[in-house]
């Protein structure tokens, strides 16, 4: 039986109505994997390869009784990513009458309260919101997670080798205490080093084995390289002119490395456009830009209908927020990492099947770093993640959080926290 035939009727109707010609390779593989095994799953595949559906289709398809509680918990590192995924998952779940709730600081309080009163469907949430719920509404959290069968972690690489990832592992262990049975896990990433597979497989503290499904396909890459000497407070006029020229024939994302550079480039390009009567649209997108302005830029990009646009952005558009297709990527000075470069390149080439990168450096060190990052990317060498040894600061934070959750705790239990929670087993003193 093929993967499509394994799906329930409502999901197949959604796929048909959405006009999919076929399932992607990673989707075919994940549907069969979930159907044939009880193992956890890591989906390692490029941006725009269909990972989101590869995670949700088999998980949703496996649920037998949606009326017996919240069934799927999706955890994202970004609120913006939750908002984007909500639209996609909501459309799918409309076909099978399954409610979807987003939970973060900007989400509807009424919808949160409705979910707590009658836990059902799918929850999209950040680690920080899980922690706040456990601390402020522990009684309701116990009822909320009781029937959970799946935990899906998006952009799982962003939780490796840092304190936030350790916090998330602790939070997952804590909510698992409220679940009636061991959940299954799915992690998703576009930028995992093969050497880190063992580390990412162990991220989920689970009784089940964890398998990796790899889609190593990659679009061909075209690169232009330019160097213009500049200073930290003013963008190179030549660099600005080059980016402007590209913007007259390509829709682009421009990635500088600071919000100040984003603003200077966006303003400079807009001025050039007005002076020369350009019809291209220019936007700035970073965490200090208002939510409405960010959404305006994202919506314009997604619904542009062929109208040219340029969005100057920080890492806010590096992860998997769906803005449709862009023709090219401008990397302005060196990226922070090879992983970051890979994420950014994945934003382009969705309709052409070809990635175009314009690398522009304005100082010698950025030129050297950028060329090195590009060389490593072309060789398929992504950054590895270092493990954090004995994170006492996160442990102290989690102890306080657990005390709040339980309104106190026996001293002996606190002394044995490294035995009771597997994520703290490395701390023995």
Domain edges within the chain: 3-217, 221-378, 395-429
Kindly report, residue by residue over 6-42, the tens digit of the pLDDT.
999 999 999 999 999 999 999 999 999 999 999 999 9
**pLDDT surpassing 80 at residue 231:** no
- Say yes or no: domain 3-217 is CATH 1.10.240.10: no
Radius of gyration of the chain (CA): 23
Domain range 221-378, its CATH number among 3.40.50.1000, 3.40.50.300, 3.40.50.12160, 3.40.50.2000: 3.40.50.300
Kindly report which listed range (54-68, 146-160, 178-192, 215-229) carries the lowest average pLDDT score: 215-229
Q: Among 27-36, 57-66, 241-250, 346-355, which stretch is predicted with the lowest mean pLDDT?
A: 346-355
- The rounded distance, in Å, linking the Cα atoms of 337 and 354 is 22
So what's the pLDDT on residue 236?
A: 83
Helices (H), 189-258: 197-201, 237-247
Residue 80's pLDDT band, with cuts at 50, 70 and 90, is confident
Percent of the chain at pLDDT > 70 equals 98
What are the residues facing 359 on neighbouring strands?
Answer: 225, 331
- Per-residue pLDDT at 208: 93
pLDDT tier at 51, thresholds 50, 70, 90: very high
pLDDT tens per residue, range 352-404 = 778 999 999 999 999 999 999 999 999 988 888 888 888 889 989 999 999 99
122: tokens are: 């799918």
Q: Please name which of 267, 201, 169 lies closest in space to residue 42, comparing C-alpha atoms.
A: 201
pLDDT number for residue 219: 84
Q: Does residue 174 have a pLDDT over 80?
A: yes
pTM confidence score: 0.90
The Cα 328–Cα 308 span in angstroms is 12
Cα separation values, 100 from 27, 184, 227, Å: 21, 19, 48
pLDDT tens by residue, 293-317: 988 998 898 887 789 999 999 887 8
Q: What is the pLDDT of residue 356?
A: 94
For residues 120 and 228, what is the distance between their CA atoms, to the nearest angstrom? 56
Is the CB of residue 48 less than 8 Å from the CB of residue 219?
Answer: no
Of residues 102 and 219, the one with the higher pLDDT is: 102
CA distances from residue 116 to 87, 271, 402 in whole angstroms, order as listed = 21, 50, 20
For residue 290, give Cα distances in angstroms to 81, 285, 322. Answer: 16, 9, 19
Location of structure tokens 């100040």: 260
Question: 3-state class of 232 per DSSP?
Answer: coil
Does the pLDDT value for residue 234 go beyond 80?
no
The pLDDT of residue 387 is 80
């Amino acid at each position: 039986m093929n993967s499509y035939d394994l799906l329930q009727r409502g999901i197949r109707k959604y796929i048909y109505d959405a006009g999919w010609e076929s399932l992607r390779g990673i989707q075919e593989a994940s549907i069969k994997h979930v159907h044939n095994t009880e193992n956890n799953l890591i989906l390692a595949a490029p941006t725009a390869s269909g990972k989101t559906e590869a995670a949700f289709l088999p998980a949703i398809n496996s649920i037998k009784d949606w009326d017996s509680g919240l069934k799927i918990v999706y955890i994202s590192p970004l609120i913006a990513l939750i908002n984007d995924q909500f639209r996609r998952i909501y459309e799918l779940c409309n076909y099978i009458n399954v409610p979807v709730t987003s939970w973060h600081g900007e989400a509807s309080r009424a919808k949160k309260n409705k979910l707590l009163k009658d836990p059902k469907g799918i929850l999209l949430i950040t680690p920080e919101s899980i922690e706040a719920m456990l601390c402020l509404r522990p009684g309701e959290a116990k009822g909320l997670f009781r029937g959970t069968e799946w935990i899906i972690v998006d952009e799982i690489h962003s939780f490796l080798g840092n304190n936030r990832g350790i916090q998330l592992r602790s939070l997952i262990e804590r909510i698992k205490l409220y679940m009636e049975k061991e959940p299954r896990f799915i992690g998703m990433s576009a930028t995992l080093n093969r050497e880190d597979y063992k580390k990412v497989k162990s991220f989920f503290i689970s009784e089940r084995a964890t398998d990796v499904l790899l889609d190593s396909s990659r679009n061909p890459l075209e690169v232009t390289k330019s160097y213009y000497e500049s200073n930290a407070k003013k963008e190179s006029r030549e660099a600005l002119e080059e980016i402007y020229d590209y913007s007259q024939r390509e829709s682009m994302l421009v990635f500088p490395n600071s919000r100040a550079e984003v603003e200077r480039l966006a303003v400079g390009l807009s001025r050039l456009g007005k002076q020369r009567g350009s019809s291209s649209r220019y936007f700035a997108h970073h965490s200090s830009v208002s939510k409405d302005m960010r959404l305006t830029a994202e919506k314009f990009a997604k619904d542009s209908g062929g109208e040219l646009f340029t969005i100057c952005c920080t890492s806010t558009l590096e992860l998997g927020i769906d803005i449709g297709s862009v023709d090219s990527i401008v990397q302005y000075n060196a990226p922070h990492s090879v992983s970051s470069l890979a994420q950014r390149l994945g934003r382009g080439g969705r309709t052409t099947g070809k990635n175009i990168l314009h690398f522009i450096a304005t100082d010698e060190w950025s030129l050297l770093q950028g060329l090195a990052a590009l060389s490593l990317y072309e060789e398929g060498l992504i950054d590895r993640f270092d493990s954090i040894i004995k994170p006492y600061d996160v442990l102290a934070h989690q102890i306080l959080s657990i005390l709040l959750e339980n309104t106190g705790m026996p001293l002996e239990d606190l002394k044995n926290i490294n035995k009771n929670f597997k994520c703290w087993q490395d701390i023995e003193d």
